[in-house]
């Protein structure tokens, strides 16, 4: 019985032990998101608006863990962004921060293509880590039920 309880306790603690600490501050990220809001919004799957959805960029609800260049209903991704997603780019903290630091350079390096370009050309003022931490507070997209 003790073995079962020890195993159960270890399994319950596992998610807490393996959850990575975020480098950024979500409160600072919320304040810095203003510069993103001219092109991006955050709307949950139920239609609740966290940040007004702008028509230029895709909804950033659930962007963390999402395949790059893939958001149902959004058709304005660059060919390079779609290709990056098809080659396995998923937004985690490292890729998100590197992309925000230099969008074109990131895509060119990821795709090994000196002509690759994305549609986003904003130079971030502030911390990409903070914006990542803020966006990480909004759930990943739910998988459709089969």
Which domains can be identified in the chain, with CATH numbers?
23-135 (1.10.760.10)
The answer to which of 54-58, 72-76, 79-83, 110-114 has the lowest mean pLDDT is 54-58
Which pLDDT band, with edges at 50, 70 and 90, does 104 fall under?
very high
Tens digit of each residue's pLDDT (9 = 90 or more) over 121-134: 888 888 999 999 99
- Answer whether 0.85 is exceeded by the pTM: no
User: For 109-113, which contacts have Cβ atoms below 8 Å and span 24 or more sequence positions?
Assistant: 110/84, 111/80, 111/83, 111/84, 111/87, 113/80
Tens digit of each residue's pLDDT (9 = 90 or more) over 25-69: 999 999 999 999 999 999 999 999 999 988 799 999 999 999 999
């Amino acid at each position: 019985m003790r073995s079962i309880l020890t195993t159960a306790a270890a399994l319950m603690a596992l998610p807490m032990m393996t959850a990575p600490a975020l480098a950024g501050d979500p409160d600072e990220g919320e304040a810095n998101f203003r510069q993103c809001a001219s092109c991006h919004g955050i709307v949950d799957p139920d239609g609740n608006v966290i940040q007004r959805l702008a028509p230029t960029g895709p909804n950033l609800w659930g962007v963390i863990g999402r395949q790059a260049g893939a958001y149902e209903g959004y058709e304005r991704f660059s060919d390079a962004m779609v290709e990056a997603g098809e080659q396995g780019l998923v937004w985690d903290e490292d890729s998100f921060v590197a992309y925000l630091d230099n969008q074109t350079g990131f895509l060119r390096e990821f795709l090994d293509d000196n002509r690759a370009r994305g549609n986003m050309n904003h130079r971030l003022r502030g911390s990409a880590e903070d914006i990542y931490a803020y966006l990480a507070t909004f759930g990943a997209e739910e998988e459709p039920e089969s």
